[in-house]
Amino acid sequence: MKKTLCLYYSRTESTRIIMEQIAKDLEGELVEYTDGKKRSGALGYLSACIDSYRKPPQIWPLETKLPLGEYDRVIIGCPVWAEKPCIIVEGLLAQYGDALPEEVYFVVTHSSTKSYDKRIEKLDQYLKSPHRGHLSLSTKKGSAAKAVAEFVEELQ
């Protein structure tokens, strides 16, 4: 069994619920990453919009059981904000990208039914080697559960 770390940021729980499922299916450890800023409600939405055009924020220390390099793989979940993976994931990768193992996957949730593949690929700039796979997941599509199940199956 691979040692799997599932990291997630979630403003309104959609990404958290999906990452919980993935961590459960892969028997991985689930850990939240955050910059500590509260973004609930309409004002929180507005502040997330504004933050999307700022520099990546400082992320709180990750409360993982092992040092990051000791996991076999890391799966990173985040929502799309302003047409790209949210600025919080950029903060995470700017801070911890070098410490991650080579096997990295992204799970990016969004309300639009289009795919954010190209924008996800741009996150590779923060990694030692290109990410191994990703899921660009529309939470509006009825097929979200199926897409998650297929993603998990490929990693099993």
Ligand X SMILES: Cc1cc2nc3c(=O)[nH]c(=O)nc-3n(C[C@H](O)[C@H](O)[C@H](O)COP(=O)(O)O)c2cc1C
For ligand X, the binding residues (CB under 6 A) are 10-16, 45, 48-49, 79-83, 109-112, 139
Residue 28 or 77 with smaller CB distance to ligand X: 77
Closest distance to ligand X from the beta carbon of 70 (Å): 27
Q: Is the dihedral of CA 34, 29, 41, 122 positive or negative?
A: positive
Residue 58 or 111 with smaller CB distance to ligand X: 111
Residue 21 or 139 with smaller CB distance to ligand X: 139
Closest distance to ligand X from the beta carbon of 17 (Å): 8
Q: What are the residues facing 125 on neighbouring strands?
A: none
Closest distance to ligand X from the beta carbon of 96 (Å): 19
DSSP character at residue 58: P
Closest distance to ligand X from the beta carbon of 133 (Å): 19
Helix (H) or strand (E) run with residue 154 in it: helix 144-155
**What is the distance between the alpha carbons of residues 26 and 5, in angstroms, rounded to a whole number?**
9
Closest distance to ligand X from the beta carbon of 98 (Å): 26
Could you give the 3-state DSSP secondary structure of residue 66? coil
Residue 25 or 32 with smaller CB distance to ligand X: 32
**What is the distance between the alpha carbons of residues 151 and 149, in angstroms, rounded to a whole number?**
5
Residue 17 or 101 with smaller CB distance to ligand X: 17
Q: Could you write out the DSSP letters of every residue in 111-138?
A: SSSS--HHHHHGGGGGSSS--SEEEEEE
